[in-house]
Amino acid sequence: MTVWALTVLGLCALIAADFFIGRKPHDVSIKEAGIWTIVWIVLAVLFGIGLLIAGETQASGEFFAGFITEKSLSVDNLFVFILIMAKFSVPSHLQQRVLLFGVLIALVLRAIFIAAGAAVIANFSWVFYIFGAFLIYTAWKLIQEARADEEEEDWEENRLLKSIEKKFGVSDRYEGTKLFIQKNGKKIMTPLMVVMLAIGTTDVLFAMDSIPAIFGLTQDPYIVFTANAFALMGLRQLYFLIGGLLKKLVHLSYGLSVILGFIGVKLVLHALHENGVHVPEISIPVSLGVICGVLIVTTITSLMANKKQSEREAAESAEATESGKDDAQKDSIQA
């Protein structure tokens, strides 16, 4: 309990520092986002090394595997955040406030899900089969979505959000950082509040994917929570740092599907082992190697695909320009 209390206090102090540093709405520069992204990653690495120095070798390996997995899933979630921001035309100087709220909500939801997941796992070992099957299904769904090449504009508000908007009413413009305003004697929401609710409700869906994934790597609630916390706390800065680069990671969904499918198989093997079936179990070093390897390959293939696409577009543009010149020359001769 002492370790838990100190960890939570430390994380709260970091969140408070992050909030007060960026409390004034402003456009976040690439330099600012880059510095803070590095700071959060360094803090996560130091935490993992601290576990290793404390003699918790297995916990350290589990933390790094969990952190990398959750960070990867968080990067994929940034796609949805970008869609929500665009859908509601959030001013650039208010986006960091929305993201800070989203991160806080995600931390609270994950803490609840982690506590519930740990309690269920402690009493019902068969839940590993459900987690494993869910992850394998999610992996297949990701592949299907990637192959369908769905357009970004497909994001729509869910029924809960629409009902809240209908009940409380929404103002027609942003009012700074205000969440509610008085209009005609009635308290109504501002668009900023609607965006925060949209981020919060999607956080629930994100948690449903990430929590089974992290429990597939470790059943230690402390490692599960800290890996999630460190992965999420740098998400706001990462949004501004690589927001424009996310579209270049065209194979990210395939990579994440492989990772989730791999962890799903690992969970099923673990469940069989717990039930006395003699099957091989996948170790943490192997898991860490597979996760890192898949992400590296995904990044390389994405960059190669983007390069080929750029070259193809440049060739088509040059061909169109040349064709236009030929047509103009013919018209000139005829004239």
Q: What is the pLDDT of residue 49?
A: 94
**Quick check: is 335 in a domain?**
no
**Quick check: is 261 in a domain?**
yes
CA distances from 289 to 68, 282, 311, 330 (A): 11, 11, 33, 61
Does residue 71 register a pLDDT over 50? Answer: yes
**Quick check: is 130 in a domain?**
yes
**Quick check: is 325 in a domain?**
no
Q: What is the pLDDT of residue 267?
A: 78
**Quick check: is 288 in a domain?**
yes
What is the share, in percent, of the chain residues with pLDDT greater than 90?
A: 6
**Quick check: is 118 in a domain?**
yes
What type of residue sits at position 102?
G
> 153 pLDDT band (50/70/90 cuts)?
very low
Total number of domains in the chain: 1
> 139 pLDDT band (50/70/90 cuts)?
confident
Does residue 151 register a pLDDT over 70? Answer: no
- Stretch among 147-161, 190-204, 236-250, 253-267 having the lowest mean pLDDT: 147-161
**Quick check: is 334 in a domain?**
no
> 43 pLDDT band (50/70/90 cuts)?
very high
Instruction: Give the chain's mean pLDDT.
Output: 78
Does residue 113 register a pLDDT over 60? Answer: yes
**Quick check: is 298 in a domain?**
yes
What is the share, in percent, of the chain residues with pLDDT greater than 70?
A: 85
- 155 sits in the region (left: phi over 0; alpha: psi -120 to 50; else beta) called beta
Does residue 201 register a pLDDT over 80? Answer: no
- Stretch among 31-35, 124-128, 180-184, 195-199 having the lowest mean pLDDT: 124-128
Gyration radius (Cα) of the chain, Å? 23
Does residue 283 register a pLDDT over 80? Answer: no
CB under 8 A, 24+ apart: contacts of 159-162? 160/201, 161/194, 161/197, 161/198, 161/201
User: How far is residue 117's CA from residue 219's CA, in Å, rounded to a whole number?
Assistant: 9
User: How far is residue 81's CA from residue 99's CA, in Å, rounded to a whole number?
Assistant: 8
Comparison of pLDDT for 295 and 154, the residue scoring more: 295
pLDDT tens sequence across 210-233 = 778 888 888 888 998 898 888 888
User: How far is residue 208's CA from residue 214's CA, in Å, rounded to a whole number?
Assistant: 11
Q: What is the pLDDT of residue 47?
A: 93
Q: What is the pLDDT of residue 42?
A: 92
Which domain range does residue 215 map to?
Answer: 1-315
Q: What is the pLDDT of residue 20?
A: 72
Q: What is the pLDDT of residue 313?
A: 77
Name the β-bridge partners of 180. 189
Does residue 5 register a pLDDT over 60? Answer: yes
- This prediction has a pTM of 0.71
